[in-house]
Chains A and B, each alone.
Chain A
Amino acid sequence: MSKRTIIPFGPQHPVLPEPIHLDLVIEDEKVIEAIPSIGFIHRGLEKLVEKKDFIDYVFVAERICGICSFIHGMTYCIAMEELLKLEVPSRAQYLRVIWSELSRIHSHLLWLGLTADAFGFENLFMQSWQIREQILDIIEETTGGRVIFGSCKVGGVRRDISAEKLQEILKKLRSYRNQWTEIGGIFLNDTTVKHRLQGVGKLSMEQAKTLGAVGPMLRGSGVAMDIRMTGYSGYNKLGFTPVVETAGDCYSRCKVRIRELDQSLQLIETCVTQMTEGPLEAKVVGFPNGEFFARSEQPRGEAIYYAKANGTKFLQRLRVRTPTFANLPPLLTALAGCQLADVPVIVLTIDPCISCAER
């Protein structure tokens, strides 16, 4: 038997935008086990609910993650609306879906770029981010912020998008679709890329289910599960079916994300055709009372917000379970048995967002 060594991976590593530490137990070049440690950037945002009133906390919730910021704010708002027994107007729900899908598109393009970077394909990385930049511009035009949208509030949304603007956005998105189909083709057909992704970091359907994988990690292993199927925030009216791939390797996770880009655009198109004029928000009266679990599908998977309120303007407890946190156990399973050189790619395929995992 050859000698075992431990190689530290992270918290500072070229492929990692955020700090996570893995101790890789290796034998020759093969990873036997990965031991994670997290907690480098804990910010105590859950505790902050005791200091910020429930309306102001939306701004904090949005800052839990810098990429799916809108969906974090929205999930928090859904929890509050349920506790306040508020009915969100339909136009506000459609706008929320549009912004959610825009953030999914930009997040998946970001992921494609980072993955290309992880296996050393710098040119592909730049092309992906070039498209993403244009999506960010659309977001800035409609919400006022590029990263922190700030357009969701308890009871509805804070801004409207005019009908002409919506058509303009659709036209732009359709032209970007051609661009992302082109780079998507490179990801899926290029021999070198396939070489790095196919058969790497396998996670079987059974493992994905028992370890509680979420998002593209779960759907890449053949499980048709997406929280948008539960129909929150008007997704039930859009005829949504999840994207599923069965191979369970890095390649199929990549394929899920590329197919989801098209699906997001389709959802936005459906929203625009179904949308009617109407109010943007319901007036907040009283204070939240009771407990609620809100769930939503973020680009990385399912996020859960648990809120407990006692009828005052401060919540008693807020608990956030983010998708990256749920995807850590499946990641460790996928890492066992892989080659050392494949570790960065496998770590990236869960689309790690560490600062939201640690909140």
Chain B
Amino acid sequence: MSFLSMSKMVLRKLFSAPVTERYPFVPKVHPVGARGKVNIEIEKCIFCGICQRRCPTTAIIVTKEPKVWEIDRLRCISCNLCVDVCPKKCLALDTQYSPCCVGPQKDSYHA
């Protein structure tokens, strides 16, 4: 017979600090290596378009003339493939996600 098997745990929790994080007040820190949004160092980019060809969700659009690198934040699944294939190593994944948005969110970077 065990009716109150939970009580020991409940009492312990009652006197310990909460395990949840107070999220919007305390910002969430993601560990190193977490896959968040894609960042580009546009000065290093040579607009070769390899990232555009390899992206599985076609989130990236690269135009040579004028030199523009565009990303659709909502399409991107943070898979890290573009970072792996970029010959100039100008792409990197941030540990933070891109902020919430209510519509299509295209970010353009000009050389």
Contacts and interface: CB of A to CB of B under 8 A. Distances in A.
Interface of A: 52, 56, 59-60, 123-124, 127, 130, 133, 137, 140-142, 144-145, 148, 150, 158-159, 182-183, 185-186, 189-192
Contacts of A140: 30-31, 34
Interface stretch (B4-12, B44-52, B100-108): B4-12
B61 to A, nearest CB: 17
Given A52-B56, A56-B56, A150-B80, A137 B6 contact: no
Contacts of A124: 6
Contacts of B66: none
Contacts of B19: 130, 133
B31 to A, nearest CB: 4
A141 B31 contact: yes
Please give me the 9 A-B residue pairs with the lowest Cβ-Cβ distance, nearest first: A144-B35, A56-B56, A141-B31, A190-B5, A186-B5, A189-B2, A59-B56, A144-B33, A144-B34
If over half of A's interface residues share one DSSP class (helix, strand or loop), that class is named, otherwise mixed; here it is: helix
Interface string B37-63: 000000000000000000010000000
Given A140-B30, A141-B31, A145-B78, A190 B2 contact: yes
Contacts of A148: 77
Contacts of B30: 140
A186 B6 contact: yes
B7 to A, nearest CB: 10
Interface string B1-33: 111011001100000000100000000001111
B34 A182 contact: no
Interface residues of B, number: 22
Contacts of A186: 5-6, 9
A172 to B, nearest CB: 13
Nearest to A182: B9
Given A56-B56, A150-B79, A191-B1, A141 B33 contact: yes
Given A140-B30, A159-B33, 12 more contacts: A59-B77, A59-B79, A123-B10, A124-B6, A127-B9, A141-B31, A145-B78, A150-B35, A158-B80, A158-B84, A186-B5, A190-B6
A192 B6 CA distance: 11
Contacts of B80: 144, 150, 158
A228 B1 CA distance: 37
Contacts of A141: 31-34
A181 to B, nearest CB: 12
A136 to B, nearest CB: 11
A127 B8 CA distance: 13
27 contacts: A56-B56, A59-B56, A59-B79, A60-B56, A124-B6, A127-B9, A130-B19, A133-B19, A137-B31, A140-B31, A140-B34, A141-B33, A141-B34, A144-B80, A144-B93, A145-B34, A148-B77, A150-B78, A150-B80, A158-B80, A158-B84, A183-B9, A186-B6, A190-B2, A190-B5, A191-B3, A192-B3
Contacts of B35: 144-145, 150
A172 B80 CA distance: 28
A128 to B, nearest CB: 12
Nearest to A146: B34
B72 to A, nearest CB: 16
A275 B3 CA distance: 45
Contacts of A56: 56, 81
A67 to B, nearest CB: 18
A165 to B, nearest CB: 10
Among A133, A159, A183, A190, find the residue whose CB has the most chain B CB atoms closer than 10 A. A190
Nearest to B36: A144
A142 B79 CA distance: 14
Nearest to B55: A56
A326 to B, nearest CB: 29
B60 to A, nearest CB: 14
Contacts of B31: 137, 140-141
